[in-house]
Amino acid sequence: MQCVYNQAQGAVPQVPPQSYDGALNTIGVSIGFSAGSVLGWAVFAPTTGVPAGALAGEYVGVSADVGIGLGAGANLLLGGSNRTIALQPLSLQGSAALNVVAGVSSLKLRWH
């Protein structure tokens, strides 16, 4: 997947968008199909002003999703810079889905 980090409006200091390549894997039960989605994540870190490339690394967590059309789910991934960053999905748009997923997920991000 292609990922872009955009800092929250009003954050100081402002930094330009950061691009990442990512791979998301889930071990568990996955029944059905999904295609063509865009996912927005909230980034929670203990500090402000995340430096360029700080989101690179491996994240792990649990996930549970049900998709009929757009779908809904609960996911939380922890990792990144010294395992101090949490990623929480915010929205799923433009997806065609009919599935059920439950398991342990991992996300690997590479900064470029």
pLDDT at 26: 80
| Phi, psi for residue 17 in degrees, rounded to 5 | -55, 145
Q: Structure pTM?
A: 0.73
The total of other beta-carbon atoms located within 10 Å of residue 103's CB is 14
pLDDT of 99: 73
Distance between CA 47 and CA 55 in Å, rounded? 13
- Reported as a single tens digit per residue, the pLDDT across 61-101 is 887 776 666 556 666 788 886 678 888 876 555 556 677 77
Higher pLDDT, 43 or 74: 43
CA dihedral angle for residue 22, residue 108, residue 36, residue 72, rounded to 10 degrees: -140
Q: How far apart are CA 35 and CA 4, in angstroms?
A: 20
55 HSE (CA, 13 A, CB side): 25
